[in-house]
Amino acid sequence: MIIVSGFIVGLLLSGCGGGSDDPYTPREISKEHQGLSLSELKSMASDISYYELIGHPGEGIVFDVSNRRLIENVEKHDGTL
C-alpha cells in the first residue's frame, strides 16, 4: 500500500510539472514606464476589466492558467495595460 501510494504521488508530481515557459512571469519594466508615479501610470492604463481581460463569460468559469483560450485572450492585450 505504501509503495502504491508513493507511486501515485510520484506520478502526480511529475505530471503536474510541465514546460519551463511561464506566461505570467513578471517582465522587466519598459523604459517609458520607469520612474513614473502611480498616478501617472494609472492615467496611462487601459480601463479594461479583469473579466474582459480573461474573456470571462460570467457563467462561473474560473481562470485556469492551463486553458489556452484564456491565455490567448490575455496575450491579445499585451502591452496595452
Mean pLDDT score of the chain? 75
Q: Would you say residue 58 lies in a domain?
A: yes
Highest mean pLDDT among 7-16, 17-26, 52-61, 68-77: 68-77
Q: What confidence tens digit (pLDDT) does each residue in 25-62 have?
A: 777 888 888 899 999 988 888 788 777 777 665 555 56
Q: Would you say residue 2 lies in a domain?
A: no
Q: Would you say residue 50 lies in a domain?
A: yes
Q: pTM of whole model > 0.85?
A: no
Domain region containing 76? 46-81
Q: Would you say residue 80 lies in a domain?
A: yes
Note the pLDDT of residue 48.
80
At residue 67, the 3 state secondary structure works out as coil
3-state secondary structure the chain: CHHHHHHHHHHHHHHHCCCCCCCCCCCCCCCCCCCCCHHHHHHHCCCCCHHHHHCCCCCCCCCCCCCHHHHHHHHHCCCCC
